[in-house]
Amino acid sequence: MAVVQFSPAQPVRAPEREDLHLAFRTVRARSLALTRGLSSEDQLVQSMPEVSPTKWHLAHVTWFFETFILKAHAHGYRPFHPGFEHLFNSYYNSVGEMHARPRRGLLSRPSHDEVLDYRAFVDEKMLQLLETAPTHLAPELSRLTILGLNHEEQHQELMMTDIKHVLSCNPLLPAAFEAPAPARSIALEDGWAGYEGGFVMLGHAGDGFAFDNETPRHKVWLRPFSLRTRPVSNRDYLAFIEDGGYDAFDLWLSDGWAVVKSEGWEAPLYWTKRDGEWHEFTLAGLRPLDLDAPVAHVSYYEADAFARWAGARLPSEAELEIALRGEPITGNVLPDVEDGAAMLAPMPRAAEHAGNNLMQAYGDVWEWTASDYAAYPGFAPVAGALGEYNGKFMCNQFVLKGGSCATPHGHVRASYRNFFYPKDRWQFTGLRLAKPY
Ligand SMILES: [Fe+2]
């Protein structure tokens, strides 16, 4: 989907209003299209505290529009259901009390059909508001609507990673989507790309949409560094396993070694051996492990241990951002589909995903960095409830860059900062090696 961009200082003129309507309808329809292969029972399950049921996602992104736009700006708006403010509030203390995150899977009511009715109700009210709002409200409505659409797209990726975990817990190992023919790996140059370093500017620049955590732009110093031209593959990672990587305490951070022992990790999440052969659970069901695809579903701890084993290190956020900025935005990302999803999985490298210096720079897997998710110098959350969107999570997490096979196009950019806890591995998370130049 093309990203609709507005200057916040300008009122919404008629053509821009049409673009905003189109973007709204497109993003909202896409969320439903992504669920088309799922039963209503699939959409209720919560397989672990970090996973939200699909139905909850569909309602929560709707709650976002209702809470921050309709209740604030639609004259005389009456909420669809008074209890939904509580049920579908994720973490906004400014809005009020919320239903506990680990208990979202207990919400058998409202039914799936009622959630779809809620979506349709809010869609209609939103489109009415965008059509009839007075001119002086237009810039603020644009800003909030574009934020709401970007928020919904973030949840589209979470819906895919969450349902993958849900289905992986079912002994039948069901497929969510049809699988396309496997992509063929194309031999491309494999090596290291060198970068000079020096003083560089990091963070968002330009007029396009960015989240507040990508700002302000600021200067950092980088020593010369090199990046591997491709992400670490399943073949690479299998060599680490077969070399006893999960048994070698000296490769691991102390916290990581503790998790390896307590969780009994011996391979990435979703890897399993059948008849002596490694397989991987995918959104298209269980498949033989594709050795040429980037390794996915590894934690920060595993990525860090692998890098140490390989005689390299993880890149910093700044190093990856500078490298990504020099690459064309192309890659294996969430496909644009009207009536369902293609199989979402990291793929072997292909000629069309080769860039200037790196292969698969964007898409396939989020790449762990060695950088804490922290505020940029001078960062200030926006005033009000939406200031809770990013800033309060800047503690104990690590930054990931580049987007994955489940990331919507509009979220694939060099300055984008994804973040997860170091033990997390249910996202499409992989790595790329770095070393001194
Ligand atoms: Fe959210």
Residue type, 137: L
Successive 10-residue mean pLDDT values, the chain, 437 residues: 30 66 95 93 98 98 97 96 96 93 97 98 97 89 95 97 98 86 64 95 92 96 96 97 98 98 98 97 93 96 98 98 95 74 74 82 97 96 89 96 95 97 98 96
Residue 389 pairs with which residues in a beta bridge? none
Alpha-carbon torsion 385, 390, 395, 397, what sign?
Answer: positive
How remote is the CA of residue 16 from the centroid of ligand 1, in Å? 26
How remote is the CA of residue 423 from the centroid of ligand 1, in Å? 21
pLDDT of 291:
92
How remote is the CA of residue 60 from the centroid of ligand 1, in Å? 7
pLDDT of 321:
98
CB 78 within 8 A of CB 124: no
How remote is the CA of residue 122 from the centroid of ligand 1, in Å? 16
By residue count, the chain amounts to 437
CB 204 within 8 A of CB 369: no
pLDDT of 355:
81
pLDDT of 7:
30
Structure tokens, 432? 């790329």
How remote is the CA of residue 76 from the centroid of ligand 1, in Å? 25
How remote is the CA of residue 391 from the centroid of ligand 1, in Å? 14
CB 243 within 8 A of CB 300: no
State the pairing for strand pair 366-372/429-430: parallel
Helix (H) / strand (E) containing 218: strand 218-222
How remote is the CA of residue 38 from the centroid of ligand 1, in Å? 21
305 Cβ contact partners less than 8 Å away, ≥ 6 residues apart: 240, 245, 251, 252, 253, 256
Structure tokens, 55? 């139905």
Structure tokens, 342? 């293609």
How remote is the CA of residue 152 from the centroid of ligand 1, in Å? 7
Of the candidates 160, 115, 205, 83, the one whose C-alpha atom is nearest the C-alpha of residue 408 is 160
List strands edge to edge, sheet with 225-228.
192-195, 225-228, 434-436
Query: Quick check: helix, strand or coil at residue 297?
Result: coil
How remote is the CA of residue 157 from the centroid of ligand 1, in Å? 11
pLDDT of 182:
59
Structure tokens, 400? 């990931």
Structure tokens, 109? 């009511």
pLDDT of 384:
86
How remote is the CA of residue 148 from the centroid of ligand 1, in Å? 9
How remote is the CA of residue 319 from the centroid of ligand 1, in Å? 29
Neighbours of ion ligand 1 (CB under 5 A): 90
Phi/psi for 388 (5° steps) reads: -85, -5
Beta carbons within 10 angstroms of residue 246's beta carbon: 19
Alpha-carbon dihedral of residues 112, 114, 115, 121, nearest 10 degrees? 150
